[in-house]
Amino acid sequence: MSYAKPIQVFAVTGASGALGRAIVQTLAGPANRHIVLVGRDQRTLEELAGEVAAGDSVLHVVSGADAAQPGAAAEAVVAKLLDVLAAVGGERVGQLVLVHSAGTLSDLRKRADQYGNDEIAAYTTVNFVSFAVLAARFLEFAKDTGAERIGVVNISSLLAIQPFANWGLYAATRAGRDQLMRVVALEHANDPRVKTLSYAPGPLVGDMQASVRAEIADPAQRELYDRLHREGKLVRPADTARLMCDLVHAWEFESGAHVDVFDLVPPPA
Protein backbone atom coordinates (compact mmCIF):
# COMPACT_ATOMS: atom_id res chain seq x y z
CA MET A 1 0.00 0.00 0.00
CA SER A 2 1.34 3.42 -0.92
CA TYR A 3 0.33 6.82 0.42
CA ALA A 4 0.56 10.05 -1.57
CA LYS A 5 1.93 11.70 1.55
CA PRO A 6 4.46 10.44 4.10
CA ILE A 7 2.83 8.58 6.95
CA GLN A 8 2.31 10.13 10.36
CA VAL A 9 2.38 8.02 13.51
CA PHE A 10 1.13 9.28 16.88
CA ALA A 11 1.11 7.45 20.21
CA VAL A 12 -1.29 8.93 22.77
CA THR A 13 -1.03 7.81 26.40
CA GLY A 14 -4.00 8.28 28.68
CA ALA A 15 -6.10 7.87 25.56
CA SER A 16 -9.28 6.96 27.44
CA GLY A 17 -9.25 10.14 29.55
CA ALA A 18 -11.23 13.22 28.51
CA LEU A 19 -8.24 15.04 27.02
CA GLY A 20 -6.63 11.91 25.56
CA ARG A 21 -9.89 11.00 23.87
CA ALA A 22 -10.19 14.52 22.44
CA ILE A 23 -6.63 14.37 21.13
CA VAL A 24 -7.28 11.03 19.42
CA GLN A 25 -10.49 12.36 17.88
CA THR A 26 -8.70 15.50 16.66
CA LEU A 27 -5.84 13.54 15.10
CA ALA A 28 -8.07 11.00 13.39
CA GLY A 29 -9.09 11.37 9.78
CA PRO A 30 -6.31 11.38 7.16
CA ALA A 31 -5.48 8.13 5.43
CA ASN A 32 -1.75 8.54 6.01
CA ARG A 33 -2.14 8.66 9.79
CA HIS A 34 -1.72 5.86 12.35
CA ILE A 35 -2.73 6.51 15.96
CA VAL A 36 -1.67 4.26 18.81
CA LEU A 37 -4.02 4.38 21.80
CA VAL A 38 -2.19 3.62 25.04
CA GLY A 39 -3.73 2.70 28.38
CA ARG A 40 -4.21 0.00 31.00
CA ASP A 41 -7.58 -1.43 30.06
CA GLN A 42 -7.96 -3.14 26.67
CA ARG A 43 -11.75 -3.12 26.70
CA THR A 44 -11.89 0.64 27.34
CA LEU A 45 -9.38 1.35 24.59
CA GLU A 46 -11.15 -0.92 22.11
CA GLU A 47 -14.45 0.80 22.90
CA LEU A 48 -12.77 4.16 22.31
CA ALA A 49 -11.35 2.94 19.01
CA GLY A 50 -14.84 1.89 17.98
CA GLU A 51 -16.38 5.21 18.99
CA VAL A 52 -13.83 7.52 17.36
CA ALA A 53 -14.78 8.78 13.92
CA ALA A 54 -11.42 7.73 12.55
CA GLY A 55 -12.09 8.45 8.90
CA ASP A 56 -9.32 6.80 6.92
CA SER A 57 -6.83 6.79 9.80
CA VAL A 58 -5.79 3.49 11.36
CA LEU A 59 -6.17 3.09 15.11
CA HIS A 60 -4.06 0.65 17.14
CA VAL A 61 -4.49 -0.37 20.78
CA VAL A 62 -1.78 -0.93 23.39
CA SER A 63 -3.36 -2.29 26.56
CA GLY A 64 -1.73 -3.24 29.82
CA ALA A 65 0.51 -0.16 29.77
CA ASP A 66 0.44 0.38 33.52
CA ALA A 67 2.30 3.54 34.55
CA ALA A 68 3.07 1.88 37.86
CA GLN A 69 5.33 -0.47 35.85
CA PRO A 70 7.31 2.06 33.78
CA GLY A 71 9.70 -0.30 32.03
CA ALA A 72 7.05 -2.76 30.89
CA ALA A 73 4.72 0.04 29.80
CA ALA A 74 7.44 1.69 27.70
CA GLU A 75 8.39 -1.63 26.09
CA ALA A 76 4.75 -2.26 25.13
CA VAL A 77 4.42 1.15 23.47
CA VAL A 78 7.67 0.88 21.53
CA ALA A 79 6.84 -2.69 20.44
CA LYS A 80 3.51 -1.51 19.02
CA LEU A 81 5.17 1.39 17.21
CA LEU A 82 7.69 -1.04 15.70
CA ASP A 83 4.78 -3.21 14.53
CA VAL A 84 3.08 -0.20 12.93
CA LEU A 85 6.22 0.84 11.07
CA ALA A 86 6.88 -2.72 9.97
CA ALA A 87 3.35 -2.97 8.57
CA VAL A 88 3.92 0.11 6.40
CA GLY A 89 7.49 -0.84 5.53
CA GLY A 90 9.00 1.24 2.78
CA GLU A 91 6.76 4.25 3.37
CA ARG A 92 8.40 7.56 4.25
CA VAL A 93 7.69 8.58 7.87
CA GLY A 94 6.88 12.26 8.06
CA GLN A 95 6.03 12.55 11.75
CA LEU A 96 6.55 10.21 14.69
CA VAL A 97 5.12 11.80 17.82
CA LEU A 98 4.52 10.69 21.40
CA VAL A 99 1.77 12.61 23.21
CA HIS A 100 1.89 11.88 26.93
CA SER A 101 -1.55 12.68 28.34
CA ALA A 102 -1.56 10.08 31.12
CA GLY A 103 -1.51 11.33 34.69
CA THR A 104 -3.36 11.42 37.98
CA LEU A 105 -4.32 13.99 40.58
CA SER A 106 -2.48 14.04 43.87
CA ASP A 107 -4.37 14.26 47.17
CA LEU A 108 -5.60 17.86 47.11
CA ARG A 109 -6.66 17.71 50.75
CA LYS A 110 -3.03 17.61 51.89
CA ARG A 111 -0.15 20.02 52.35
CA ALA A 112 3.34 18.91 51.36
CA ASP A 113 4.25 18.06 54.97
CA GLN A 114 1.33 15.63 55.15
CA TYR A 115 2.44 13.26 52.38
CA GLY A 116 3.51 9.77 53.40
CA ASN A 117 6.68 8.07 52.13
CA ASP A 118 4.84 5.39 50.15
CA GLU A 119 2.41 7.95 48.77
CA ILE A 120 5.26 10.08 47.41
CA ALA A 121 7.02 7.07 45.88
CA ALA A 122 3.89 5.68 44.22
CA TYR A 123 2.77 9.04 42.87
CA THR A 124 6.11 10.03 41.40
CA THR A 125 6.47 6.61 39.76
CA VAL A 126 3.15 6.98 37.94
CA ASN A 127 3.44 10.66 37.11
CA PHE A 128 7.14 11.25 36.52
CA VAL A 129 9.20 8.07 36.33
CA SER A 130 6.84 6.45 33.81
CA PHE A 131 6.98 9.54 31.61
CA ALA A 132 10.77 9.79 31.79
CA VAL A 133 11.23 6.10 30.96
CA LEU A 134 8.78 6.20 28.05
CA ALA A 135 10.28 9.41 26.65
CA ALA A 136 13.77 7.90 26.83
CA ARG A 137 12.80 4.63 25.13
CA PHE A 138 10.70 6.44 22.53
CA LEU A 139 13.52 8.79 21.53
CA GLU A 140 16.05 5.96 21.46
CA PHE A 141 13.81 4.02 19.08
CA ALA A 142 12.51 6.94 17.02
CA LYS A 143 15.89 8.33 16.01
CA ASP A 144 16.68 5.05 14.23
CA THR A 145 13.49 5.06 12.13
CA GLY A 146 14.39 7.71 9.57
CA ALA A 147 11.40 9.81 10.61
CA GLU A 148 11.62 13.37 9.37
CA ARG A 149 10.04 14.85 12.50
CA ILE A 150 10.28 13.28 15.95
CA GLY A 151 8.22 14.86 18.73
CA VAL A 152 7.54 14.35 22.41
CA VAL A 153 4.55 16.30 23.72
CA ASN A 154 4.21 16.47 27.48
CA ILE A 155 0.72 17.41 28.65
CA SER A 156 1.69 19.86 31.34
CA SER A 157 -0.07 22.41 33.53
CA LEU A 158 0.15 25.98 34.75
CA LEU A 159 1.16 24.31 38.01
CA ALA A 160 4.46 23.31 36.42
CA ILE A 161 5.55 26.95 36.49
CA GLN A 162 3.35 28.57 39.18
CA PRO A 163 2.81 27.19 42.71
CA PHE A 164 -0.60 26.77 44.31
CA ALA A 165 -1.39 25.35 47.73
CA ASN A 166 -2.28 21.63 48.03
CA TRP A 167 -0.83 20.76 44.63
CA GLY A 168 2.66 19.76 45.85
CA LEU A 169 3.12 16.35 44.24
CA TYR A 170 1.16 17.21 41.12
CA ALA A 171 3.06 20.47 40.59
CA ALA A 172 6.46 18.91 41.30
CA THR A 173 6.04 16.08 38.81
CA ARG A 174 4.74 18.44 36.13
CA ALA A 175 7.66 20.79 36.69
CA GLY A 176 10.02 17.83 36.44
CA ARG A 177 8.46 16.72 33.17
CA ASP A 178 8.75 20.24 31.75
CA GLN A 179 12.41 20.44 32.71
CA LEU A 180 13.13 17.05 31.19
CA MET A 181 11.66 18.29 27.92
CA ARG A 182 13.92 21.37 28.06
CA VAL A 183 16.95 19.15 28.64
CA VAL A 184 16.02 16.89 25.71
CA ALA A 185 15.60 19.96 23.50
CA LEU A 186 19.05 21.21 24.51
CA GLU A 187 20.64 17.81 23.95
CA HIS A 188 19.15 17.65 20.45
CA ALA A 189 19.77 21.26 19.47
CA ASN A 190 21.84 20.05 16.51
CA ASP A 191 19.26 17.50 15.37
CA PRO A 192 16.47 19.42 13.59
CA ARG A 193 14.29 16.29 13.48
CA VAL A 194 13.71 16.28 17.23
CA LYS A 195 11.42 18.67 19.13
CA THR A 196 9.78 18.61 22.53
CA LEU A 197 6.76 20.57 23.75
CA SER A 198 5.12 20.99 27.14
CA TYR A 199 1.50 22.00 26.60
CA ALA A 200 -0.77 23.19 29.40
CA PRO A 201 -4.36 22.56 28.28
CA GLY A 202 -6.06 24.73 30.91
CA PRO A 203 -8.72 23.84 33.50
CA LEU A 204 -10.84 21.32 31.62
CA VAL A 205 -14.50 20.45 31.67
CA GLY A 206 -14.80 16.89 32.99
CA ASP A 207 -14.39 14.47 35.87
CA MET A 208 -10.91 15.68 36.84
CA GLN A 209 -12.11 19.22 37.41
CA ALA A 210 -15.11 17.92 39.32
CA SER A 211 -12.71 16.09 41.63
CA VAL A 212 -10.65 19.26 42.08
CA ARG A 213 -13.71 21.25 43.07
CA ALA A 214 -14.79 18.56 45.51
CA GLU A 215 -11.42 17.90 47.15
CA ILE A 216 -9.20 20.99 47.06
CA ALA A 217 -8.53 22.17 50.62
CA ASP A 218 -7.71 25.76 49.66
CA PRO A 219 -10.99 27.74 49.81
CA ALA A 220 -9.83 30.45 47.38
CA GLN A 221 -9.10 27.87 44.68
CA ARG A 222 -12.37 26.05 45.33
CA GLU A 223 -14.25 29.33 44.91
CA LEU A 224 -12.38 30.10 41.68
CA TYR A 225 -13.05 26.71 40.10
CA ASP A 226 -16.67 26.73 41.27
CA ARG A 227 -17.14 30.10 39.57
CA LEU A 228 -15.50 28.98 36.33
CA HIS A 229 -17.72 25.90 36.35
CA ARG A 230 -20.93 27.84 37.04
CA GLU A 231 -20.15 30.43 34.39
CA GLY A 232 -19.19 27.89 31.74
CA LYS A 233 -15.61 29.18 31.53
CA LEU A 234 -13.76 25.90 31.87
CA VAL A 235 -11.92 24.77 28.74
CA ARG A 236 -13.53 22.13 26.53
CA PRO A 237 -11.17 19.22 25.84
CA ALA A 238 -11.98 19.31 22.12
CA ASP A 239 -11.00 22.98 21.87
CA THR A 240 -7.64 22.68 23.62
CA ALA A 241 -6.84 19.41 21.81
CA ARG A 242 -7.34 21.17 18.49
CA LEU A 243 -5.01 24.01 19.48
CA MET A 244 -2.33 21.57 20.61
CA CYS A 245 -2.59 19.46 17.47
CA ASP A 246 -2.36 22.58 15.32
CA LEU A 247 0.91 23.45 17.07
CA VAL A 248 2.32 20.00 16.45
CA HIS A 249 1.27 19.92 12.81
CA ALA A 250 2.71 23.38 12.09
CA TRP A 251 5.99 22.34 13.77
CA GLU A 252 6.96 25.98 14.34
CA PHE A 253 7.11 25.94 18.16
CA GLU A 254 10.44 26.37 19.91
CA SER A 255 11.71 23.01 21.07
CA GLY A 256 11.47 22.70 24.85
CA ALA A 257 8.85 25.43 25.12
CA HIS A 258 6.04 25.50 27.66
CA VAL A 259 2.90 26.69 25.87
CA ASP A 260 -0.32 27.40 27.75
CA VAL A 261 -3.71 27.30 26.07
CA PHE A 262 -4.17 30.91 27.16
CA ASP A 263 -1.03 31.87 25.24
CA LEU A 264 -3.03 30.92 22.16
CA VAL A 265 -6.54 32.15 23.01
CA PRO A 266 -7.77 34.79 25.50
CA PRO A 267 -8.47 33.51 29.03
CA PRO A 268 -12.02 33.77 30.37
CA ALA A 269 -12.86 37.24 31.72
- What are the pLDDT digits (tens) for 82-125? 999 999 887 899 999 999 999 999 999 999 999 999 999 999 99
222 domain-assigned: no
Cβ proximity of 235 and 260 under 8 Å: no
Helices (H), 88-206: 117-124, 130-142, 168-187
The structural domain count of the chain equals 1
Choice among 37-51, 132-146, 187-201, 205-219 with the minimum mean pLDDT: 37-51
Residues in the chain: 269
Cβ proximity of 122 and 69 under 8 Å: no
223 domain-assigned: no
265 domain-assigned: no
The pLDDT of 182-195, averaged and rounded, is: 98
212 domain-assigned: no
Which amino acid type is present at position 9?
A: V
216 domain-assigned: no
**Residues in contact with 90: Cβ distance below 8 Å, sequence separation at least 6, in sequence order:** none
CATH code of the domain in which 151 resides: 3.40.50.720
Cβ proximity of 181 and 154 under 8 Å: yes
**Which domain range does residue 106 map to?**
7-206+236-260
Residue-level pLDDT at 43: 87
DSSP state of 58: E
Give the pTM: 0.95
- What are the pLDDT digits (tens) for 28-71? 999 999 999 998 888 888 888 888 877 889 999 998 788 999 99
Cβ proximity of 153 and 26 under 8 Å: no
Which amino acid type is present at position 258?
A: H
Q: Is 154 left (phi over 0), alpha (psi -120 to 50) or beta?
A: beta
144 domain-assigned: yes
Cβ proximity of 235 and 164 under 8 Å: no
41 domain-assigned: yes
Q: Residue 217: CA atoms inside 13 Å, Cβ hemisphere, count?
A: 13
Residue-level pLDDT at 264: 97
143 domain-assigned: yes
Tell me the C-alpha distance between 218 and 215, whole Å. 9
Tell me the C-alpha distance between 158 and 177, whole Å. 13
